[in-house]
A = this chain, B = another copy of it.
Amino acid sequence: MAESRGTRERIVEAAVGLFYEKGFEGTGMAELLIRAGANSGSFYHFFKGKEDLLSAVLDWYQAHLEPILIEPLRAQTPDPIERIFALLDGYRQRVLVTGCTYGCPIGRLALEIDPARVDVHAAIAKNFTGWTGAVERFLKDAGDRLPRGLDRAELALFVLTVMEGGVMQSRAHRSIEPFDASVRQLRHYFRHLEAEAALRGSKARRKVRRKPGRKPGFQPSPERQPPARKS
């Protein structure tokens, strides 16, 4: 039992590596079995085929997101916004150590895999949501440093957009510059958002001071609220 679990893991990890290096279409079954050190009998014991392996690979990424990508950020800095930029800096390092050939493995599958494979795209989307969910939690931790009305989930999605678009252009240009430029623009946007929040915060405080009759946190009494509309 322990042995067979080891074989399945070896196959999945070989697929993680090969799909990353050569893409899904570019990976052959023969080289997959060689890298995993498995024969085709044990492969078909666990998987129906290469297609079936794709879900296992995406589950692997999903399971590794929190311990490998997110958890270390908490030790790196206590500042929730800086944690987001530290996450992006992790991608910067990946771009650099690969000589600017890095491509996000999930992003590559998103663009490569046939849209007809609805199950695979759902698993890709789940990976994206895992990533943006972690960023959204950091954005919520930032509290009133960001504008109150700002949709945190939407901004988190935007951070992923910036990472993916930056990585893609750096790979094509074989240069860190497009990635760095994208993150600089995002940083500039965050500075504006923080300034917007600070400005609105101070305006709100002035408003409260100007109307001494109204206590902060004042709520209109129920009878003064507009009646609920009947549909």
The main secondary structure of chain A at its interface with chain B is: helix
* Minimum CB distance partner of A106 in chain B: B172
Contact size class for A?
35 or more
For residue A23, which residues in chain B have a CB less than 8 angstroms away from its CB?
A: 23, 25, 112
Q: CB within 8 A of A157: which of B25, B128, B169?
A: B169
A205 contacts B by Cβ under 8 Å: no
Number of copies: 2
For residue A163, which residues in chain B have a CB less than 8 angstroms away from its CB?
A: 165
27 contacts between A and B (CB under 8 A): A23-B112, A103-B110, A110-B169, A110-B172, A111-B171, A115-B174, A121-B171, A121-B174, A124-B172, A125-B174, A154-B181, A154-B184, A155-B185, A157-B178, A158-B181, A158-B182, A158-B185, A158-B186, A160-B169, A161-B162, A161-B164, A161-B165, A161-B182, A163-B165, A164-B165, A165-B165, A189-B189
